[in-house]
């Protein structure tokens, strides 16, 4: 696994979450708190803004030796030399992206079913995002909410693969340990959790990331 997925930050530039703050400043705080990978996700800006913001974010993530992945846009990743991309089921397909990106680029794929997870695994993706874990206002057009039970079924279906796995959707300080513990299948556990609002929208993103890192480090204790 070329990337530490344990505390995966996904950015959001919408006013409800960013609350007028500078994205790079928020991301830098989160990095100080222990975020291990950053995905730049921006569904509204035009291409020139995406490239400019991605370049600035890359300067910050590089300082912390953390990979920057670009959501949706292989062209933006190529333009700024990001470490990789994160692609959904409706984005450029894995094979095309693989052809365009450098050999060592990280490619992650969003999945919400066994079929999608198996395909991403067979394709050779570095990791899959599995979701939606819990319904969330951050992304309301999700195909399905699968919970820990659905996540466990997906993990079990790919248990013989070394592919990385990260859960996304509605994860916060109160449920992160349950997400990690209850999702695991006997042979495969999640490698990490992807968080948007609970870090980017937090009053103190550094403190929030620190708390997640601490909760992830300490094995969950459940009956
Ligand atoms: N994909 C599935 S849910 C989601 C994405 C991008 C958003 C998760 O946001 P939050 O704020 O961590 O619930
Ligand atoms: Mg996408």
The rounded percent of the chain whose pLDDT value lies above 70 is: 98
Ligand 2 centroid–CA 186 distance in Å is 30
Residue 3 neighbours by CB distance under 10 Å? 21
pLDDT in tens, 4-29: 999 999 999 999 999 999 999 999 99
Percent of the chain as helix, strand, coil, to the nearest 5: 40, 15, 40
pLDDT in tens, 16-67: 999 999 999 999 999 999 999 999 999 999 999 999 999 999 999 999 999 9
Cα separation, 18 vs 134, whole angstroms = 21
Tokens for 65, please give them.
């030796």
Ligand 2 centroid–CA 85 distance in Å is 10
pLDDT of 182: 94
ipTM: 0.99
**51 in Cβ contact with 45 (< 8 Å):** no
Cα separation, 68 vs 108, whole angstroms = 12
- Whether residue 108 has its Cβ less than 6 Å from ligand 1: no
Nearest ligand 1 atom, CA 195:
12
**Closest of 197, 193, 194 to residue 184, by C-alpha:** 193
> What is the b/e burial string over 144-179, where b = at least 16 CB atoms within 10 angstroms of the residue's CB?
eebbbebbbebbebbeebebbbbbbbbbbeebbbeb
- Whether residue 201 has its Cβ less than 6 Å from ligand 1: no
Nearest ligand 1 atom, CA 201:
11
Query: Is residue 1 pLDDT above 60, yes or no?
Result: no
Q: Where do we find the tokens 């300080």?
A: 173
Query: Is residue 219 pLDDT above 80, yes or no?
Result: no
Query: How would residue 118 be classed by pLDDT, with cut points 50, 70 and 90?
Result: very high
pLDDT of 102: 98
pLDDT in tens, 130-164: 999 999 999 998 879 999 999 999 999 999 999 99
List, in order, residues 6 or more apart from 133 with CB less than 8 Å away: 145, 146, 147, 148, 151, 167, 168, 169, 170, 171, 179
**134 in Cβ contact with 112 (< 8 Å):** no
């Amino acid at each position: 696994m070329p990337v530490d997925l344990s505390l995966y930050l996904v950015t959001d530039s919408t006013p409800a979450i960013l609350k007028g703050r500078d994205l790079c400043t928020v991301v830098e705080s989160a990095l100080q708190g222990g975020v291990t990978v950053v995905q730049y996700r921006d569904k509204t800006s035009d291409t020139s803004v995406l490239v400019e913001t991605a370049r600035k974010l890359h300067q910050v993530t590089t300082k912390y030796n953390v990979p920057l992945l670009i959501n949706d846009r292989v062209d933006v990743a190529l333009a700024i030399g990001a470490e990789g991309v994160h692609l959904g089921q409706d984005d450029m397909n894995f094979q095309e992206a693989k052809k365009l990106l450098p050999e060592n680029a990280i490619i992650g794929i969003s999945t919400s079913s066994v079929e999608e997870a198996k395909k991403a695994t067979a394709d050779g993706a570095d990791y899959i995002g599995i979701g939606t874990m819990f319904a969330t206002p951050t992304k309301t057009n999700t195909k399905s909410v699968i919970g820990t039970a659905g996540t466990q079924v997906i993990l079990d279906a790919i248990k013989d693969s070394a592919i990385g796995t990260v859960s996304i959707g509605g994860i916060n300080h109160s449920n992160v340990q349950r997400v990690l513990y209850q999702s695991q299948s006997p042979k495969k556990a999640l490698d990490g959790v992807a968080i948007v609002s609970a870090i980017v929208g937090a009053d103190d993103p550094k403190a929030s990331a620190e708390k997640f890192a601490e909760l992830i480090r300490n094995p969950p204790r459940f009956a």
